[in-house]
Amino acid sequence: MGPDTLQMDERHRLSIGGVRVADLAEEYGTPLYVMDEVTMRRRLQAFARLLAETEIPTRLVYAGKAFLCEAMAGWLKPFGVGLDVVSGGELYTALAADYDPAKIVFHGNVKPAAELRYALKAGVGQIVVDSLSELQSIEQEAAALGVRARVLLRLTPGIDAHTHAFIRTGQFDSKFGFGLADGIGDEAIKSALDLPHVDLLGFHAHIGSQILEAEPFLADAEALLEYALKWYRQLGYWPHVLDIGGGFGVRYAEEDHPPDLRPVFRQIATAMRKMTPSEAQVPELAIEPGRSIVGEAGVTLYRVAVVKRVPGGKRYVAVDGGMGDNIRPALYQAVYQARLDGKAVDGPVSEFTVAGRYCESGDILMPSVRLPEPATGDLLVTLATGAYNYSMASNYNRIPRPAVVLVADGKASVWVERESWADLTRRDRPYAAASTPNDV
For residues 396-422, one letter each, b for 16 or more C-beta atoms within 10 angstroms of the residue's C-beta and e for the rest, the string is: eeebbbbbbbbbbeeebeebbebbeee
Q: Please tell me the distance from the alpha carbon of residue 86 to that of residue 56, in angstroms, as a whole number.
A: 27
Q: Please tell me the distance from the alpha carbon of residue 97 to that of residue 77, in angstroms, as a whole number.
A: 9
Q: From the candidates 165, 310, 359, 432, which is the catalytic residue?
A: 359
Is 69 annotated in the active site?
no
Q: Please tell me the distance from the alpha carbon of residue 225 to that of residue 231, in angstroms, as a whole number.
A: 10
> Which is nearest to 185 in space by CA: 215, 205, 163, 161?
205
Distances (CA, A) of 162 to 246, 250, 294: 14, 15, 22
Hey, which bits of 194-349 come out as E strands? 198-204, 241-243, 284-287, 298-309, 315-319, 338-340
The three-state DSSP-derived secondary structure of 104-146 is EEECCCCCCHHHHHHHHHHCCCEEEECCHHHHHHHHHHHHHHC
Q: Please tell me the distance from the alpha carbon of residue 380 to that of residue 372, in angstroms, as a whole number.
A: 11
Per the CB < 8 A criterion, the answer to whether 403 and 29 are in contact is yes
Per the CB < 8 A criterion, the answer to whether 185 and 179 are in contact is yes
Distances (CA, A) of 33 to 38, 140, 327, 372: 16, 42, 14, 23
Residues in the chain: 440
Cα 50 to chain center, whole Å?
20
Per the CB < 8 A criterion, the answer to whether 420 and 30 are in contact is no
Q: Please tell me the distance from the alpha carbon of residue 250 to that of residue 302, in angstroms, as a whole number.
A: 22
Per the CB < 8 A criterion, the answer to whether 130 and 153 are in contact is no
Q: How many CB atoms lie within 10 A of CB 234?
A: 11
Cross-strand partners of 62: 83
Can you count the helices (H) and strands (E) in the chain? 12, 21
Cross-strand partners of 352: 369
Report, as residue numbers or ranges, the catalytic residues: 359
